Structures are given as structure tokens and as C-alpha cells.
Amino acid sequence: MENVLIVYAAPEPKSLNGALLAAALKTLTDQGTCVEVSDLYGMKFKAVLDASDFPNRWDTTVFDPAAEQIHAIATDSIAPDIATEIEKVRRADLLIVQFPIWWTSMPAILKGWFDRVFAQGFVVNVGTGEVYGRGLLRGKKALVVVTAGSPAELYAPGGPHGDLHELLRPLTHNLLQFCGLEVLPTHVVYNAAGIAPDDADREVEMYQDRLLAIEA
């Protein structure tokens, strides 16, 4: 891989997520990889898709987000903060999406990033069937990296919370694979809320090993 984009949605730099991010940056850059980070909380990224994202509206009488995205991509007239993120995605060979599990899903700021940046006409063309294997991001890979506060047994198949991998399927399958990305197996750190320092260090090392294996 030459270029990696890490979309990072965790609010506390001194958390386990912060340590995982720092480890990824060092591991990948030491391998000669160019790494960009979109730290959504640090950027104070606007999470709400609305009419202000489209300065050159296709239709000012009624707001149709999909139609406005298609028009904005075709005319290169989307909001500047979205355009910046789109260029990062274009450059990336691997997209790493990292976040803590909140209410069995992603933080709202990350969902907003996908709503705004994964614009129709850029990631898919639904009308022409350019989705899944024909999605416009085909040829790129994606890795989802999550921390879960609960132990693994609570997220096991048949467990009280349900299978974590199935809970993440709307992201891994209906979103990332829908856009043509090859989705690698999710990297999960369980019991993050009560993890001991030594265990946290081991989790960081295992994540570094995972990244090196992808590089290899």
C-alpha cells in the first residue's frame, strides 16, 4: 500500500483509541506508507448533511440530497470541507475506519462523515447499477477497527448484545462493500472500558502486527 486514510472518530486522544491511532501512524509510516488522518472530533467535522453542502443547487425548490450530490460531483461544486475529504479517499489505497462502539454502532460524527463524503456520483451510481462489485471505489480496501466496552462473550453470536460482526454489517456490507471496497476482517478490541494497562499494550501490539500483515 502506498496511501492510507484513517478516518478516526474518538473524542479523547489519551484513550485506548488514541493509542491505537498513534501505533498505526508509526507502524505504517515506518513501512514507508503515506498516511493521512481525518480526526473528525479534532477537525470539528460538520456531521449534518443539509442544503448548505451544495452552493450550486440543482433544484432550489425542493431539497433532494441524492440529486444534489450527483449534480455537485458532476459539476465539482460541493462544499469545500467535503471536497477535501473526497480527495483523501481518492488518494487512499486502504481506508481505515476507527471508532468506539456506541449503542452498538458508530458515533454520530462518523455517520455524518459517510453521509456527506460518500456522495452519490463519487462512490456509487445507483441509477446505472454501479454498486457492490461495480461500485466506484472498487480496487480499494477498507479495514474497520473498533473498541467495544463489553467483553467478547456479550458480543458473541447468541450473546446478550448480539454478534458484533452482524451489528456492523450495515457499515461493512451495506455501505463499504456497496461502494465497491474490498472489506478486510474487522479488528475488534473487546472489554476496552475496563482494560488493564498491560492488556492495552498487548492490544496495541496485536494491532500493529495486523497492520504489518496487511502491508505484507
Distance CA 123, CA 88 (A): 13
Give residue-wise pLDDT tens across range 116-151. 999 999 999 999 999 999 999 999 999 999 999 999
Determine if the pTM surpasses 0.85.
Answer: yes
Report the pLDDT value the prediction gives residue 215, as an integer from 0 to 100: 78
State the cell numbers at 48. 449534518
Report the pLDDT value the prediction gives residue 172, as an integer from 0 to 100: 98
Q: Where are the domains of the chain?
A: 3-215
Report the pLDDT value the prediction gives residue 135, as an integer from 0 to 100: 98
- Torsion sign across C-alpha atoms 80, 111, 98, 18: positive
Select from 190, 57, 185, 45 the least CA-distant residue to 115: 45
Report the pLDDT value the prediction gives residue 173, as an integer from 0 to 100: 98
Report the pLDDT value the prediction gives residue 216, as an integer from 0 to 100: 77
State the cell numbers at 91. 488518494
Residues catalogued as catalytic: 149, 155, 161
List C-alpha distances in Å: 60 to 5, 63, 64, 67, 68.
34, 7, 9, 11, 10
Mapping DSSP to helix (H, G, I), strand (E, B) and coil, where does residue 129 land? coil
Residues shown for the chain: 216
Report the pLDDT value the prediction gives residue 125, as an integer from 0 to 100: 95
Q: Which residues in the chain show pLDDT less than 70?
A: none
Distance CA 175, CA 185 (A): 15
Phi, psi of 105 (to 5 degrees): -150, -165
Distance CA 121, CA 143 (A): 23
113 within 8 A of 9, measured Cβ to Cβ:
yes
Distance CA 126, CA 65 (A): 14
Report the pLDDT value the prediction gives residue 150, as an integer from 0 to 100: 95
Report the pLDDT value the prediction gives residue 194, as an integer from 0 to 100: 84
58 within 8 A of 73, measured Cβ to Cβ:
no
Report the pLDDT value the prediction gives residue 191, as an integer from 0 to 100: 94
List C-alpha distances in Å: 156 to 49, 147, 160, 161, 192.
34, 15, 8, 8, 16
CATH topology of domain 3-215: Rossmann fold (3.40.50)
HEC string of 169-182 equals: HHHHHHHHHHHCCE
Q: Which residues are bridge partners to 145 per DSSP?
A: 98, 187
Report the pLDDT value the prediction gives residue 88, as an integer from 0 to 100: 98
